[in-house]
Amino acid sequence: EPEVTQTPSHQVTQMGQEVILRCVPISNHLYFYWYRQILGQKVEFLVSFYNNEISEKSEIFDDQFSVERPDGSNFTLKIRSTKLEDSAMYFCASRPGVQNSPLHFGNGTRLTVT
């Protein structure tokens, strides 16, 4: 069964550094999402992406964050200048173009900012 893959599984970075988290959504999906989960807290929506542009974003997704689909397969989340509070699990998800189809999530990247 096709799945969403995320790399790396764990990334450690120093405060102030830029980090790029990578995702390969399921191949025929059209909607792409990033979520994060701070340790012990609930899964929080960051941003959704459709037709090469952001379709929806939360208040968490500020100017420090950006997303890109640089080619036909990858979907990336960039954090420009990481802060300690960016430490979290980051999940990518995708869904087909059929309305009401479910999202499928990857297993996440654990980001640790030191």
Question: d(Cα 48, Cα 60) in Å, to the nearest integer?
Answer: 13
Is 33 near another protein (CB under 8 A)? Answer: yes
Beta strands 65-68 and 104-105: pairing type? unpaired
Q: Among 17, 56, 83, 114, which residue sits at the site for another protein (rule: CB under 8 A)?
A: 56
Of 79, 94, 89, 87, which is closest to residue 109 (Cα–Cα)?
89
| 105 near another protein, judged by CB under 8 A | yes
Instruction: Note the residues at the interface with another protein (CB under 8 A).
Output: 4, 30-31, 33, 35, 37, 42-45, 48, 50, 55-56, 89, 91, 93, 95, 99-100, 102-108, 110
